[in-house]
Amino acid sequence: MTSPDHFSEADSALPKSRLDRFFSRHTRRLARYTSRRSFLNKLGLLAIGAGALPLLPIARTYSAPPGASGEPDSSTPQGDIYDCNYWRYCSIDGFIASCCGGTAHSCPPGTEMSPVSWIGTCLNPADNKHYIVSYNDCCGKTTCQRCFCHRNEGDKPVYYPSKSNDIDWCMGQAGIVYNSTVSVVIGVSEP
Amino acid sequence: MTFLLRCILLLLCVLPTRLWAKDPATLFMLECQGCHLADGSGGMSSIPTLQNHVAKFLGVPGGREYLVQVPGVAFSSLSDQDTTAVLNWMLTKFGPMESIRQFVPYTVEEVSILRKKPLPEITRRRADLMLLMQQSESIAAPG
């Protein structure tokens, strides 16, 4: 049985570069203390571990609905999506889509979401982050008339059209009639 | 010692990006995306397309100035510095690639001067530039 120290003598004959010495020493150590069985053992563990990865809670964040890429972590309390005081409705001026058969970020059946929108930020008190929220109008059916919500944080007069919630964003749509509004989180605003 | 110096240099390269209030991608989301959309395709016929189009203006005389003088840029609520950052980011993001190969990024001074001279006849100016663009394209690819 060779003593592990036997190899350390060879180190003096190595190139002077710090990087070369580092890799040489570690390769030698790896060769001394591992066997082929140990490699198979670790490979097996890796295969099982990789298979078990989707079972971990971290994978759930990827199962969020499409278009909701910037949604808060699923572990943070969501809040009441039917309440005007819900954090992501901070700049809404209209009827909440959740109360009209849709959700906070999807339009009621039979309506079409306007591609254009006005975009602002809202503070989520649950994780204290500012999220970028897109207020898209749902168009094509008569006004919903349920859960009217009028909060105007960051709202600007209509001569700043990209920052005004008084504009009917159904303009130019096939169904120009306004029904309700969704609040789609599209990202996190860095402080 | 050299190792320490290298660390400091590396930190200096990384730090400024963290010191910015908001990165250009976030500013684009907040100020432009509502109408131009996330992929720059433009929502309706009246909203100009950015995707594979915006940088073509750099190839025609007056186009470089025009991109700063359009209302969305000239009247933006962003500072000259942020406007310049978003404009440069947008051009490289939406391209087309062949138009930005020779692209010299806008400087803050350039944007500051140009945005103070908005265009009174925006529609006509755009039509003229589009015509020039078409002509140079047909010369580049005849038939």
Task: Identify the H or E element spanning A184.
Answer: strand A178-189
Contacts of B47-54 with CB under 8 Å at 24 or more apart are B47/A116, B48/B126, B50/B90, B50/B94, B51/B94, B52/B94, B52/B95, B52/B96, B53/B94, B53/B96, B54/B90, B54/B91, B54/B94, B54/B95
* Chain A nearest-CA residue for B38: A186
pLDDT at A62: 43
Residue A118 annotated as catalytic: yes
Top mean-pLDDT range of A8-12, A34-38, A152-156, B66-70: B66-70
Chain B CB contacts of A116 below 8 Å: 34-35, 37, 43-44, 47
Contact A116, B35 (CB under 8 A): yes
* Residue B38 with chain A: CB contacts under 8 Å: 186
Q: Which helix (H) or strand (E) holds A148?
A: strand A148-150
Q: Provide ipTM, 2 decimals.
A: 0.73
How far off is chain B from A3, nearest CA to CA, in Å?
A: 35
Among A7-11, A60-64, A83-87, the range with the most confident prediction by mean pLDDT is A83-87
Mean pLDDT of chain A: 82
Q: Contact, A182 vs A107, CB < 8 A?
A: yes
Chain A environment of B77 (Cβ under 8 Å): 160, 163
Q: Which one of the listed residues A87, A93, A118, A155 is annotated catalytic?
A: A118
Residue B85 has pLDDT above 60, yes or no: yes
Which residues from B are below 8 Å from A134, CB to CB?
33-34
Radius of gyration of chain A (CA): 29
- Residue A188 in 3-state DSSP? strand
pLDDT at A54 over 80: no
The nearest CA of chain B is from the CA of A179 a distance in Å of 19
Chain position carrying tokens 């819900």: A86
Termini Cα distance of chain A: 61
Question: What pLDDT, on a 0 to 100 scale, did the predictor assign at position B18?
Answer: 44
Contacts for A124 with CB less than 8 Å, ≥ 6 apart: A72, A76, A87, A88, A130, A131
What gap in Å lies between CA A88 and CA A184, rounded to an integer? 8
- pLDDT tens-digit map of A35-47: 778 878 888 999 9
Mean pLDDT in residue range A58-74 = 55
Judged by average pLDDT, the poorest of A66-70, A149-153, B113-117 is A66-70
User: Can you read off the two tokens belonging to residue A128?
Assistant: 């204290």
Q: Identify the pLDDT of residue A116.
A: 87
Active-site choice (A11, A80, A87, A137): A137
Check whether A191 has a pLDDT greater than 90.
no
pLDDT per position as a tens digit, B32-69: 998 899 999 986 778 899 999 999 999 999 999 999 99
What residues of chain A, 145 to 174, have a C-beta less than 8 Å from chain B?
A: 160, 162-163, 171-172
Q: Does B77 touch chain A if contact means CB atoms closer than 8 Å?
A: yes
Residue A58 has pLDDT above 70, yes or no: no
Alpha-carbon torsion angle A163, A168, A171, A175, nearest 10: 140
**What is the spatial distance between Cα B26 and Cα B24, in angstroms, rounded to a whole number?**
5
Share above pLDDT 90 across residues of chain B, in percent, rounded to a whole number: 60
* Whether A101 contacts A107, CB under 8 Å: no
Q: How confident is the model at residue A65 (pLDDT cuts 50, 70, 90)?
A: very low
- Residues A156-173, buried b or exposed e (16+ Cβ, 10 A)? beeeebbbbbebebbeeb
A169 catalytic per annotation: no
What is the least distance, in Å, from the CA of A163 to any CA of chain B? 8
Q: Mean pLDDT, to the nearest integer, of A50-55?
A: 74
Distance spanning both ends of chain B, measured CA to CA: 64
Cβ contact A115–B31 (<8 Å): no
Over residues B122-128, the mean pLDDT reads 93
Report, as an integer, the average pLDDT of A171-187: 85
Mean pLDDT lowest among A94-108, A153-167, B11-25, B90-104: B11-25
Judged by DSSP in three states, A93 sits in: strand
Higher pLDDT among residues A42 and A63, named by residue = A42
